[in-house]
Amino acid sequence: MKTIRLSIYTLFLMAFAACNPTQSLQEYYVNNSENPNFLSVDLPVSLLNMEKAELTGEQREALQSLHKLNVLAFKKTDANSAEFQIEKAKVKSILNHTKFNELMKMNTSYGKATINYLGDDDAIDEVVIYGDSNEKGFLLVRVLGENMNPAKIAQFMQALQKSDYKGEGLEKIGELIKG
């Protein structure tokens, strides 16, 4: 009986959350940055140690179009399972809003993931990577920049492989994914 009530309560809250499309992703980040179920990290692009990497002109241009990464992770536990479902529904509602364009869907060893963006096809201002796992929680990454180009994002990924970046600043997120 208690499980049925919890399920009904969760469905009610998920439906309520889905009916509120006015919340922006930025507001969602701000509203949850102090929530103990979330881990919030802002990373400047300079943290990626790209200065020493031998980059092509296109890779440097791609790097210059990026400003920072905002990471928000929800670690699921037995105690916060209902809240996990509610928060997952809120994020999906925000991402399904018409201003986001879906770039790609993926199935990974950790769970399902999507990559969405804001802006025009040739001038992206924000890339959003969202992945979730019913066992571990979810991860939401905002890549903020100015006039990013999908081809340049691919160039950036190649440049990142050349960098000395070893995951500094992401240790807690790595523990969440492993955990």
**CA 19 to mean position of chain CA atoms:** 21
Mean pLDDT value across residues 142-167: 69
Give the residue numbers spanning the domain of 110.
2-178
Query: Cβ–Cβ contacts within 10 Å for residue 27, how many?
Result: 11
SS3 98: coil
Confidence class for position 130, pLDDT limits 50, 70, 90: very high
CA dihedral 170, 174, 176, 179 (to 10 degrees): -160
Task: For residue 23, list its beta bridge partners.
Answer: none
Q: Residue 45 has what DSSP assignment?
A: G
Exposure b/e, 9-25, CB count within 10 A at least 16 = b: ebeebbeebeeeeeeeb
Q: Give every CB contact of residue 11 below 8 A, 6+ residues apart in sequence.
A: none
Specify the 3-state DSSP secondary structure of 179. coil
How many other C-beta atoms lie within 10 A of the C-beta of residue 96?
Answer: 13
The 10s digit of each residue's pLDDT in 6-55 is: 445 444 445 444 454 468 899 999 999 999 999 998 888 777 667 667 77
Look at the chain and report how many structural domains it folds into.
Answer: 1
Q: What is the pTM (predicted TM-score) of this model?
A: 0.71
Query: What are φ and ψ of residue 7, in 5° steps?
Result: -65, -45
Average pLDDT, stretch 57-65?
A: 78
